[in-house]
A and B are shown apart, each in its own frame.
Chain A
Amino acid sequence: DTGVSQNPRHKITKRGQNVTFRCDPISEHNRLYWYRQTLGQGPEFLTYFQNEAQLEKSRLLSDRFSAERPKGSFSTLEIQRTEQGDSAMYLCASSLEEGTYEQYFGPGTRLTVT
């Protein structure tokens, strides 16, 4: 399968712990996006990378959140000192830079903070 993959699929953590999620995009895609989705809502944009450069961050991305994409391949999203409000589905998507700009989404990582 050459689609977007995300790991882990589920994560349960206690409040105050740090968590890290990984996204592996489609190999030839140089754009990578992170979104967050809470129950009953549409996904909300968090940040995006073009190759290894992080070019935009949403105001939703507090100082406790950090994302990286070393060497322009996979990406990680880390949340420090998790809070119950961080409980959500974290979605990753990738796309080509040019062309139709359609984004291909991974299955998501569901985070539950207890």
Chain B
Amino acid sequence: DAKTTQPPSMDCAEGRAANLPCNHSTISGNEYVYWYRQIHSQGPQYIIHGLKNNETNEMASLIITEDRKSSTLILPHATLRDTAVYYCIVRGYSNTGKLIFGQGTTLQVKP
């Protein structure tokens, strides 16, 4: 599975959009981009995933560049409850399904 690079930390004002970037320059054609988050002292929570098209669900939007070498997770209206560590993970569909977590981005939403 391709490696990902994320900034270690970001701040966002409550009510504003939070844009979390992720680089995955070695991603291959059959690998998906997944985002999970982990709120303090809880297990990770699935947010969204995509292959090459932009995706949106009730939690977030995922924007993947045309060359698929980077992506951005967008939380449209961040709340204090969105303060968490956000992990970007690249994974193929054909493997065991195990997730390889990096260090993630710690998002601090401030009032």
Contact = CB atoms under 8 A, between A and B. Distances in A.
A33 interface: yes
Contact of B98 (A4, A33, A100): A33
Contacts of B101: 35, 42-44
B96 interface: yes
Chain B interface secondary structure, helix, strand, loop or mixed? loop
A42 B87 contact: yes
- What range describes how many residues of A lie at the interface? 20 to 34
Interface stretch (B10-18, B20-28, B44-52, B70-78): B44-52
Contacts of A48: 96-98
Given A42-B104, A102-B49, A108 B99 contact: no
Interface in B43-101: 43-46, 49, 85, 87, 91, 93, 96-101
